[in-house]
Structure 1
Amino acid sequence: MTSLNFLSQDTIVALATAQGPGAIAVIRLSGPEAISITNKVFRGKNLEQQASHTLHFGTIRDCERLIDEVLVSLFVAPHSYTKENVVEISCHGSEYIVAEIIKILLREGARLAEAGEFTKRAFLNGQMDLAQAEAVADLISSNSRISHEVAMKQMRGGFSAEIKNLRAQLVHFASMIELELDFAEEDVEFADRTALRNLIHEIQKLLRHLLQSFELGNVLKNGVPTVIVGKPNAGKSTLLNVLLNEEKAIVSDIPGTTRDFIEDEVSIEGIRFRFIDTAGLRETEDKVEALGVERTRQKVEEAALVLYLFDVNTTSPEELKAEVEDLKTAGKPVLLVANKLDAAADKLIDFGSFENLIGISASRHQNIPELKKAILSQVKTAGLQDRSQTIVTNLRHVASLEKTYAALDDVLNGIALGISSELVASDIRRSLHALGEITGEITTDDLLENIFSKFCIGK
């Protein structure tokens, strides 16, 4: 089990802002000597005599050589991100200046931070649990309104609170059953088996909800993979360019121009979509094009949403019906997009019996806002807009929830078979162990290394 109130003897330093030149750079130190080390190279007020959460203007010097004018922020333990002494030096964003300041801080006794070491120290010192720490990385990488909302909720402990509540309920019964073991010879029962069984059913119901939410959470975190498919020359590349608002794909009247898939991302009302332009679906003897068609079918299998684009002038309702039936075998939501409507608006009447169909002209940008609304509507139908409940976004959490569910199944089976209290207690302990892995109440050094090694250096 992780020991909290960990206090490192090392003082670490790293660039906390992005690499490369910029207007401002922030260099962060954390550890027992963070303030004293900075004070050795800072010319201004005596930092060791200043209060926490104060800012101080001065200069950083290498002996008497002026390096830069800086602003130093002080956070005195335990009132900091890591619960250690923390200093943040705001300097000019020159790569040379940053390197020089870090070099002299290292010389005065700091060491370079490892990836994620600041957040790792925050976790080890009890500032946050492991699920919250992982949400910090998700927050940094969030690039849409919704992925930001989900990460922020988890970082503020929404998911952790649910897990801790589940654990607390199980701990009560576990303690009652453990008490029974002390009176094994007297054959007494402190834990009401009916109440325990009802509790486990309620917990498993919540676990199923959390596990089912992962498909949604994965999409919100990584974007909605949306594949644009259709016959050659239907206008798929033109549509991709319009959705992305840039000339990403080559547009040509020659069928089969797109031999491989082209992918890019765009945010629509806070939801990130990964649009993928694919090779046209048709029978072909061209080996390269045939390979592209095969990859298109693979992308359809991986997609969360399929846009089937067809030329309204050259496609009959019968042909469209056959194509839709073929696509539905993949089990994905399909939005039908009738393209080139500018040349034959009256043709759309022929397709009135089809559901989830919208007419556009990609080349004229006609009905594109309506198309975006229709795309969002498909996403809403799949439940991706319902973020009122806790959403699981982490595969590690999924594995722990599945282990918890399986252990609770064993508890139920044991109660039904009337097995001994000792074996029931063992299965409950397994479920508690699996839940504890999520928040970090149960962990290993290898697990921590794997999690925090994926963070950026300054976080």
Structure 2
Amino acid sequence: MHNDTIVALATPSGSGAIAVIRLSGKNAIGIADRHFRSVIDQKSLSNQKTHTIHLGHIIDGDKTLDEVLVSVFKNPNSYTGEDVVEISCHGSQYIQQEIIQLFLRQGCRMATAGEFTLRAFLNGKLDLSQAEAVADLISSDNEASHQIAMQQMRGGFSSEIAKLREELLNFASLIELELDFAEEDVEFADRTQFKELIERINFVLKRLIDSFAVGNVIKNGIPVAIVGEPNVGKSTLLNALLNEDRAIVSEIAGTTRDTIEDEISIGGIGFRFIDTAGIRDTKDVVESIGIKKTFEKIEQAQVVMFLVGSPQLVVGRDAIEVFKIEIEKIKNKFPQKQLLVILNKIDQITDTDLAELTTSLTPHVKNLIPISAKTGFGVEQLTDSLLNLINTGALRNNETIVTNSRHYDALLKAFEEVQKVKHGLETGLSGDLLAIDIRQALYHFGEITGEITNDDLLGNIFANFCIGK
């Protein structure tokens, strides 16, 4: 466990209005105090109450580096559980570096990535899942991912796991006690209550495991591929969704020869739209490469929006039949993808033609959406349909949603061990063998919150943090 004093810039690097430099460790207040001069009197930071702010100057010998605000947080009532000082200075890169270099010369060490939060974990201020939520909160870029990270950081996920672990641990203790009295053939653990507990744990674990499918896409954004033949309005639709001219639009078929990607938030959930090259037979080498990339992007996408130009289908019945075949090809080639079929350019056909097209295609298409990307008609219905493809019920009900792949893996392993315990109870397995499976389940629960950990695991987790947090 580290017990030296660390320092780092807590705000983004570069120039700005202000910057915050953070120190944490047993000498943090003393080191800052040696170079702080209050504007009011000669008060010492060491004698001030915790959670107070002081106006003054940072001094290096006879040189004044900057006028600053110094916040003092005394252990154990600080983020890290140690003495913490935060210095708000002007955002000049020169000033930032001068102050940091001054403290380094006074015995501080530059903090490594995530070291402040690591110390908070080691000092019992956060459990491991809450510490990981800090990184998720910093990187959240939409309402949904922010909501999930806040819930986890407040201990929603941890408290569920801790409650299950505590109940299982109590029964494990009773079964372990039975082993000490094996010759007397007594049962301290009520098997009926134990079965009820296992069923309840089984239910909660399954719910948490199932939530990862939603949590993962919310955290990382939902990739949506916009595909179709050339000149059906894919780039126009992308521009309409983004509300800006992101993709080049022209009447020339094959204008888009590479994939174009951009992200927006719809209903608080991030969507990453991928405008692809038009799919057609071509001898153009560059366009062929773009079409190949289109199929690669469809593989990576969770949702496929298949566009067709309405005027092309109105030409004749053959065009409609060919389109139906193309839809089936997409369904068969990518059976796991959510498919939305977009009937574009409806502003160029009559209402009668639109009604006939809808009647003809509806039996073959689950999600058929008529739009005009050029005028914006139907785009709102399209965004609503995209949201409906994502199960956001758990998010609306403020239920615990798993977003971390490490947690997901540990939950799967715990679920497997609980299934073994359940099977053992049903088959009358001996207490010593039940105890082995229970201990393994407890181990995997402990991995999530950090009761069970190692240096390699902590290194991998906190290496993904920014320096200064």
The answer to whether the superposition gives a TM-score over 0.5 is yes
Within 1, Cα distance between the matches of 2:276 and 2:397?
Answer: 31
Deviations 1:112-142 (A, max 9, x none): 0010000000111110100000000000000
Q: SS where residue 60 of structure 1 aligns?
A: strand
Which amino acid in structure 2 is aligned with residue 326 of structure 1?
A: K
Counterpart for residue 4 of structure 2: 10
Counterpart for residue 316 of structure 2: none
- Partner of residue 339 from structure 1, selected from 341, 344, 350: 344
> Does the 8 Å contact 1:116/1:454 carry over to 2?
yes
Within 1, Cα distance between the matches of 2:430 and 2:390?
Answer: 49
Within 2, Cα distance between the matches of 1:61 and 1:345?
Answer: 77
Question: Among the aligned pairs, what percent are the same residue?
Answer: 56
Mapped pair 1:42 → 2:36 = yes
The 1:345–1:103 alpha-carbon spacing in structure 2 relative to 1, beyond 3 Å, is farther
- Partner of residue 356 from structure 2, selected from 339, 347, 350: 350
Counterpart for residue 236 of structure 1: 234
Which amino acid in structure 2 is aligned with residue 443 of structure 1?
A: T
Within 1, Cα distance between the matches of 2:411 and 2:278?
Answer: 41
Within 2, Cα distance between the matches of 1:136 and 1:221?
Answer: 13
- Partner of residue 446 from structure 2, selected from 418, 427, 436: 436
1:99-118 equivalent positions in 2, closer than 5 A: 99-118=97-116
The 1:163–1:48 alpha-carbon spacing in structure 2 relative to 1, beyond 3 Å, is same
Cα drift, residue 224 of structure 1: 1.4
> Does the 8 Å contact 1:279/1:296 carry over to 2?
yes
Aligned-residue RMSD, C-alpha:
1.8
Counterpart for residue 427 of structure 1: 437
Cα drift, residue 235 of structure 1: 1.1
Counterpart for residue 3 of structure 1: none
Range 429-438 or range 273-282, more displaced: 273-282
- Partner of residue 77 from structure 1, selected from 75, 78, 83: 75
The 1:384–1:352 alpha-carbon spacing in structure 2 relative to 1, beyond 3 Å, is farther
Counterpart for residue 27 of structure 1: 21
> Does the 8 Å contact 1:14/1:29 carry over to 2?
yes
> Does the 8 Å contact 1:71/1:89 carry over to 2?
yes
Cα drift, residue 198 of structure 1: 3.0
> Does the 8 Å contact 1:60/1:69 carry over to 2?
yes
- List runs of 5+ in structure 1 lacking aligned partners: 1-5
Within 2, Cα distance between the matches of 1:131 and 1:97?
Answer: 36
> Does the 8 Å contact 1:379/1:385 carry over to 2?
no
Range 180-189 or range 410-419, more displaced: 410-419
> Does the 8 Å contact 1:234/1:309 carry over to 2?
yes
Counterpart for residue 419 of structure 2: 409
- Partner of residue 324 from structure 1, selected from 324, 327, 330: 327
Deviations 1:147-185 (A, max 9, x none): 100100000000001101110111111011100110112
Counterpart for residue 377 of structure 1: 388
> Does the 8 Å contact 1:280/1:293 carry over to 2?
yes
Q: SS where residue 148 of structure 1 aligns?
A: helix
Within 2, Cα distance between the matches of 1:267 and 1:245?
Answer: 12
The 1:345–1:118 alpha-carbon spacing in structure 2 relative to 1, beyond 3 Å, is farther
Mapped pair 1:220 → 2:230 = no
Cα drift, residue 246 of structure 1: 2.7
Deviations 1:277-315 (A, max 9, x none): 112222334454344333323322332222111101002
Cα drift, residue 421 of structure 1: 1.5
The 1:383–1:352 alpha-carbon spacing in structure 2 relative to 1, beyond 3 Å, is farther
TM-score by length of 1: 0.94
1:111-260 equivalent positions in 2, closer than 5 A: 111-260=109-258
Within 2, Cα distance between the matches of 1:454 and 1:301?
Answer: 27
- List runs of 5+ in structure 2 lacking aligned partners: 314-318
Deviations 1:214-267 (A, max 9, x none): 110011111111111111111111211222233322223222232332111011
Which amino acid in structure 2 is aligned with residue 126 of structure 1?
A: G
Cα drift, residue 359 of structure 1: 2.4
1:78-97 equivalent positions in 2, closer than 5 A: 78-97=76-95
Corresponding pairs, count: 452
> Does the 8 Å contact 1:181/1:421 carry over to 2?
yes
Q: SS where residue 379 of structure 1 aligns?
A: coil
Counterpart for residue 264 of structure 2: 266
> Does the 8 Å contact 1:14/1:28 carry over to 2?
yes
- Partner of residue 289 from structure 1, selected from 287, 290, 297: 287
Cα drift, residue 65 of structure 1: 0.7
Counterpart for residue 458 of structure 2: 448
